[in-house]
Every structure is written in structure tokens, then in C-alpha cells.
Structure 1
Amino acid sequence: MDYGNSDGVPGVTIPTAIKILVAGGFGVGKTTLVSAVSETQPLRTEEVLSERGVGVDDLSGVEAKTTTTVAMDFGRISFGDDLVLYLFGTPGQDRFWFVWDELALGALGAVVLADTRRLADSFPSIDYFERHQVPFIVAVNCFDGARRYDLDDVRLALDLDPEVPVVLCDARRRDSSKEVLIALLHHVMKGKGTRSRADQPA
């Protein structure tokens, strides 16, 4: 379907814009995923880890990490001419959660990145999206050297509802990160279809 632009010029297609959040614990790969999949130079708000984070930021399992996101990551990816995804990576540490409500405003859905070495770090993100009724999927980031688990075991450990998809990914790879976003869109559309049928009179 063609739409006019702001000047009323016919025949110009205005793409649908969709806001997606990428969330998860500290050091789980949110910045990496947004950077891998963004078609533009991603906006990052990373700062070097300092002595102030000692005793506050848990680096177990991610000892090589030297920077942290303090506000958000931002990227963009287009699917054809009619759909543009705007990606917002959330900060992982508790002390930056005050920005989550602003980032989540108007979001269609979310990806919760999980690291099986630090699976408990996923709970705050999952709890947030469940409380705010934001559709989400869980993407297990397959770090080198990390033990692989059956997805059903991950689902059980995270106490997820059966309808929440759990997928594997490598956040460093563009194709893998794209598949994660496609899985989220399918999940969101499936949920919308379920609700629309439920809303129909018997």
C-alpha cells in the first residue's frame, strides 16, 4: 500500500517503524547484538569500567569486560522498503534501571539475552517485561567455552510460560541476530492474532 509523505506527494511508501528492546544482564552481549545487526553506525553510551564499580558490578564469567552501557545502545535495521526496526539496548546494571521506563515506552516487544553461565541475571529483565505486559523472547547467547543446555532446561530454569520462545544465538553474527529479531516479530504477531480471535464474539 502506498502512502503520501508529509508533503502529500503520492506514490511514496512510508515504512512502518517498530521499536524493539534488547535487554539482559551485565555483560550478556546486548551492545554486541545491536552492533552486529544495525545497518547504520550504532549509537553507544559506553563508559570504561572504573574503581567505582568494584564490589558493585559482578564480573564473574565476564572478567575481560572493560566497558559498560550507562544509558542505551541504539541501532536500526530495515526489512524491505516497508518495515524499519529501531533497536534500543538497555543498561544491565541495577543502578541504571531508572531509564528502562523511558526506553520501554511504545516498544512492540523485547529480546532478553541470556548467558547460561549467569542465568539468574536474566530474571530482572523477564520480571520487568512480564509486569509491564511487553511481549518478549529469550535468546541464549552461545559464548565460546560456555556449556550448552537443552532449551527446555533453560525454559524450566527461568520459569518461563510455555508460549515464550527460547532460541539460541551468537550475538556477534549478523545473520544469527537477525533470526532472533524475526523470532520476536513472529511471537508478537502470533500473540496479536490470538488476542484478536479471543476478542471476537462467540
Structure 2
Amino acid sequence: MTTTEPATVRPPLPVKMVIAGGFGVGKTTAVGSISEIEPLTTEAAITEVAAGVDDLTHTPLKTTTTVAMDFGCLTIDPTLKLYLFGTPGQERFGFMWDDIVEGAVGGLVIVDTRRLDDCYAAVDYFEHRGIPFAVAANAFDGKVEHTLEEIRWALDVTEGVPVVVFDARERGSVRDALLVVLELALARTEAPR
């Protein structure tokens, strides 16, 4: 008589990923589109004072803004679960970034191609800390204002930084952009030192 031991089921490996970018580029939307749990957001109303500081030209209907972080998660497969942390986009909240990014395997920098300069701080942050990242041009109204090569040139990112177009409102599109970052991070860990 043979007995079989029940298979040990291990929980998925937790992997932290950061979603960053400027004010109003779609970070909260991306986390909300992909998260398998109700996302945690720290949205606050945009006050008259903040409206005078934050450029609402391209986001006139925006009434709230992230003041700490967004959080969501996504199980990639039975072995891997992404924990997503969205940063606030305004410079005045930049002091939180080190804590939010601690332990992350990589980042997705979302850009609005109508205002590329809003994401320079996020690109610089990941470059200076040696954290693998990809740039995702959010297709507002279904289009982007520049080609991927023009975006790469404007942001001055190397060929090793993937630049993709995605739609922060579409779950599959967000998943594909996150998988680009995950593949980049895995390639870095597997590279000979």
C-alpha cells in the first residue's frame, strides 16, 4: 500500500513594483484598472490653492489628487504576485518616494505626451538609483502626441529602457506594461555580474 503526501502549496512570491510619473498622468487609474483587490488610494480634493500650483490645463476635469500613495496587487501566476505602489505626482510630495520605492524590483514611469517634462523627475529618480524601469506613454483619448523614438529622445533614456504605449484604463494594457518592467527586472537579476 502506498501513501501519497499532499503537495505543498506555496504562496506566490511577493514582488514590489512602483508606478510613478507626473501629476495627472494616470497612475491611480492604472492601479485601479489592474488591481485584483479594491485599491487603496489616498486621494484628496484639489483645493483652490493646489489648483494654482498644479497645472490643470490638460486635466480640467480632475478634482482629486494622490497625496501619499496608491496600492493594489495582481497575481501574475500561482508563483508570483505583484504589489503595486503608485507615487504622488507633485514635487511637494517627493519626500515620500524613498519610502515608497524601498524594496521595489522596478518601476513604470507613466507619461502624458502632451507634457513630457512632467515626468523628468521620475525618470531621473529611477536612473540615479539604478532601478530598472520602463516608460509608458498613456494614450489619452486613444492617441499619443509623439512617436516612441521622439519620447525616448525627449526623455534622454537609453535603448535599455523600454518605451511603450498603453492605456491606463484598460486592464490588459496595464498588465502588458507591467510585464515589460517585470521582464526587465528579471533580466537584470539573471545577468552575469
| Secondary structure class of the residue paired with 2:107 | strand
State how far apart, in whole Å, the 2-side matches of 1:160 and 1:145 are: 24
Gaps of 5+ in 1: 1-8
Q: What letter is aligned with 2:108?
A: V
Which residue in 2 is equivalent to 1:133? 130
Alignment partner of 2:52 out of 52, 55, 75: 55
Which residue in 1 is equivalent to 2:75? 78
State how far apart, in whole Å, the 2-side matches of 1:126 and 1:93 are: 14
State how far apart, in whole Å, the 1-side matches of 2:59 and 2:137 are: 16
Which residue in 2 is equivalent to 1:4? none
Q: Which moved more, 1:182-191 or 1:133-142?
A: 182-191
Which residue in 1 is equivalent to 2:3? none
1:36 aligns with 2:33: yes
Which residue in 1 is equivalent to 2:169? 172
1:95-124, Cα deviation, whole Å (9 max, x unpaired): 111110100100000000001001110100
1:144 aligns with 2:146: no
Alignment identity in percent?
Answer: 48
* Deviation of the 1:12 alpha carbon: 2.5
Q: What letter is aligned with 1:39?
A: E
Cα pair 1:117 1:146 within 8 Å, conserved:
no
* Deviation of the 1:10 alpha carbon: 7.0
Q: TM-score, normalised by structure 1?
A: 0.89
Which residue in 2 is equivalent to 1:98? 95
| Secondary structure class of the residue paired with 1:43 | coil
State how far apart, in whole Å, the 2-side matches of 1:11 and 1:137 are: 36
| Secondary structure class of the residue paired with 1:168 | strand
Gaps of 5+ in 2: 1-5
Q: Which moved more, 1:29-38 or 1:56-65?
A: 56-65
* Deviation of the 1:55 alpha carbon: 2.3
* Equivalent pairs, count: 188
Q: What letter is aligned with 1:57?
A: D
State how far apart, in whole Å, the 2-side matches of 1:147 and 1:183 are: 19
CA RMSD of aligned residues (A): 1.4
- Note closer, same or farther for the CA distance 1:145–1:137 as it changes in structure 2 (3 Å cut): closer
Which residue in 2 is equivalent to 1:108? 105
Q: What letter is aligned with 2:102?
A: L
Alignment partner of 1:184 out of 173, 181, 186: 181
Which residue in 2 is equivalent to 1:26? 23
Q: TM-score, normalised by structure 2?
A: 0.93
